[in-house]
Structure 1
Amino acid sequence: MNRLLVIEAILQTNSFTKAAELLGYTQSSVSQMVASLEKEFNIQILKRSRNGVQLTPEGKELYPFIIQTIRQYQALKETASSIRGLKTGTVKIGAITSVSCYWLPDLFKEFQAEYPDIEFVLQQGDYGMILNWLKNGVIDFGLMTADYGEGFHKHIIHTTQMKAFLPLGHPLAKLDRIPIEKLADDPFILVEGGGYSEPLEAFSNAGVKPNVKYRIQDDYTIMAMVEAGLGISMLSELVFSRTNFNVVSKPVEPAVERPVAVVYRDKQTLPIASQYFIEFLIKNRKRLM
């Protein structure tokens, strides 16, 4: 099992040296374990290049099974822990920026007050990245829209509003609610959704096409660009609550919503710690409103 964990660490850090530091081994030991595994299977799994470490074509075929074996072993250990009471474990989450910034810090703090030895690994990304991490076993579950991603189990925990974000002094900032068609003419800064976009879906439903000038993944970069007068945008209401940007946020007409859900493949095969945290999220979903 240690050899498989070494392979995972090397690919996560893109370095034999960093993987050794992460796992507490010498670099020589890491190299020997990789060589031993490759000799056992008679397959080269990793190759080094100027860009770091990559899987060989044969390694790419093996890697999903390596990850599956690691996750099953972790689930085995955590099941044993759960028999004694939840003591240790790792919760691996993928989340969109607004959720990871606004909700998760307080939830982590509360959960660890009860289970202090539980570790969290949080990956931030767009919808496409989160779904890809789920498919490859990089994360246990995602926190993202329920409207995108086929073949996954989804449990909606809250519905947030998508609002228009405008520079100070923009003519539309005087309105209480902004008709979506009025957002189509200005330069539009689109939050990159990785395959799905609530704003684009809303524009399409309204029969108008936005003047998209920028596609940015980070919500806070978008707000900085709106503040600088580079355009307008539509973002989750959550991002406005913890920001000092000099921008205006107004509801859109008709309302544009994002149903935020816990998304996973099979809850029964998740690590025990992740099952506990999902139950904790569902139990506390009313506090997210």
Structure 2
Amino acid sequence: MDIKKYEVLLAVVDKGSFIKAAADLGYTQSGITYMMNSLEKECGFPLLQRSNKGVMLTLEGERLIPAIRRLVNINLELEEEFDAVKGLATGKVRIGCYPTLACAVMPQIMKLFREKYPQIRLDLVEENSVRVLEDCLASGVIDVAFMSRQPEQTYDWFPLKKDPYLAVFPQDHPLAAYDIIPAEKMMSESFFMYRSMDGIDPDVYRYFKQCKTPITSTCTSNSDFAVLFMIEQGLGIGMVPEIFWNLCCHKFSTLTTRRLQPDAFREVGLAVKSYDNSTLATMRFVREIQKNIKNNNIVL
């Protein structure tokens, strides 16, 4: 069987449609359809269920897809090894990342990396949920996750920065009289909180749990930008990571921020499923980020 057909199958499954997979891979939709029909004929049973809503795996496809993903990843690693022997730096790195980090940090990271390794393809996948990023890492959908460290982690971790959380509110809010905001003061106000499909921000949740301060919120959103727009209208206060605030503070000139007491922060870094089993391209990506941050070429 042709490994290329397996790669196309994974793209169809990950994108959820033939059209999106075709656009991503540079094929026509009819070409994708032909390859999938051919693959199913070789297998002797259907792998995909087609409908107007998109594409889903059959039960047989769900059973086979983990092994197919491992095979494709091993083939990618083998191709990189061949190129490395020839003195070439090629391959692909699939990066999972919070949307806020994707906007605030990834452009400068990808620019510097592509200048040094133009033959290595970078695919960026944005995801709000820590749990989904961890699942994608474990299953091989992504090679590296750019996220905050979680206490129950099972992956190899490369720390990059301690990113403080900031209290944010209008400049004329009574809390502006404080130089540092006690954690309990946050809960006496209308509180707007970021929330992904898994629930409220796990780093924020742990912070208030450690402070033994109950969390209550009058409104939640899965967009940090939406939270700030709500606060800008005087509807309450909130908390945002400093990296994100530095990205967008010029858009919210009527808002101000303060540090919290005790300090609130998240550790931002890179996660790989296994250091020893990561591809050469993935580890080149990790090392380049570490080096450029150390040399202040990348500012977090």
1:209 is the counterpart of 2:218: no
**Cα distance between partner residues in 1 of 2:273 and 2:213:** 36
Q: What corresponds to 2:287 in structure 1?
A: 279
SS in 2 for 1:255: coil
TM-score w.r.t. length of structure 2: 0.88
Structure 1 stretch displaced more, 14-23 or 46-55 = 14-23
Match of 1:68 among 42, 67, 70: 70
Which 5+ residue runs of structure 2 have no aligned equivalent?
none
Does the Cα contact within 8 Å between 1:75 and 1:269 map onto a contact in 2?
no
SS in 2 for 1:33: helix
Structure 1 stretch displaced more, 23-32 or 267-276 = 23-32
Match of 1:234 among 234, 239, 261: 239
**Cα distance between partner residues in 2 of 1:15 and 1:124:** 18
**Cα distance between partner residues in 1 of 2:235 and 2:133:** 29
Q: What corresponds to 2:271 in structure 1?
A: 263
> What is the aligned-residue identity percentage?
30
Q: 1:17 to 1:220 in 2, by over 3 A?
A: closer
Within 5 Å, give how 1:1-289 maps onto structure 2: 1-125=3-127, 126-192=129-195, 194=198, 197-243=202-248, 244-245=251-252, 246-286=254-294, 287=296, 288=299
Q: For residues 208-238 of structure 1, what are the alpha-carbon distances to aligned partners after superposition, in whole Å with 9 as ceiling and x for unaligned?
A: 2122123322222221121122322111111
Question: What's the offset of the Cα at 1:52?
Answer: 0.7
Does the Cα contact within 8 Å between 1:131 and 1:149 map onto a contact in 2?
no
Q: How many residues align?
A: 289
**Cα distance between partner residues in 2 of 1:112 and 1:25:** 24
Q: 1:27 to 1:122 in 2, by over 3 A?
A: closer
Structure 1 stretches (4+) deviating beyond 6 angstroms?
none
Question: What's the offset of the Cα at 1:19?
Answer: 2.9
SS in 2 for 1:173: helix
User: Which residue type is aligned with residue 271 of structure 1?
Assistant: T
Q: 1:210 to 1:67 in 2, by over 3 A?
A: same
SS in 2 for 1:241: helix
**Cα distance between partner residues in 1 of 2:202 and 2:149:** 12
Q: 1:254 to 1:31 in 2, by over 3 A?
A: same
RMSD of the alignment, in Å?
2.0
Which 5+ residue runs of structure 1 have no aligned equivalent?
none
**Cα distance between partner residues in 2 of 1:252 and 1:93:** 31
User: Which residue type is aligned with residue 39 of structure 2?
Assistant: L
Question: What's the offset of the Cα at 1:149?
Answer: 4.4
**Cα distance between partner residues in 2 of 1:186 and 1:160:** 24
**Cα distance between partner residues in 1 of 2:117 and 2:263:** 39
Question: What's the offset of the Cα at 1:21?
Answer: 4.4
User: Which residue type is aligned with residue 237 of structure 1?
Assistant: E
Q: 1:76 to 1:49 in 2, by over 3 A?
A: same
Question: What's the offset of the Cα at 1:103?
Answer: 2.2
**Cα distance between partner residues in 2 of 1:175 and 1:119:** 48
SS in 1 for 2:214: coil
User: Which residue type is aligned with residue 212 of structure 1?
Assistant: S
SS in 1 for 2:271: strand
Question: What's the offset of the Cα at 1:249?
Answer: 1.2
Q: For residues 140-188 of structure 1, what are the alpha-carbon distances to aligned partners after superposition, in whole Å with 9 as ceiling and x for unaligned?
A: 0111122244311112111111111112311112211000000012222
Question: What's the offset of the Cα at 1:285?
Answer: 3.2
**Cα distance between partner residues in 2 of 1:269 and 1:251:** 40
Does the Cα contact within 8 Å between 1:98 and 1:236 map onto a contact in 2?
no
Question: What's the offset of the Cα at 1:5?
Answer: 1.5
Q: 1:102 to 1:182 in 2, by over 3 A?
A: same
**Cα distance between partner residues in 1 of 2:288 and 2:152:** 23
Q: 1:97 to 1:23 in 2, by over 3 A?
A: closer
TM-score w.r.t. length of structure 1: 0.91
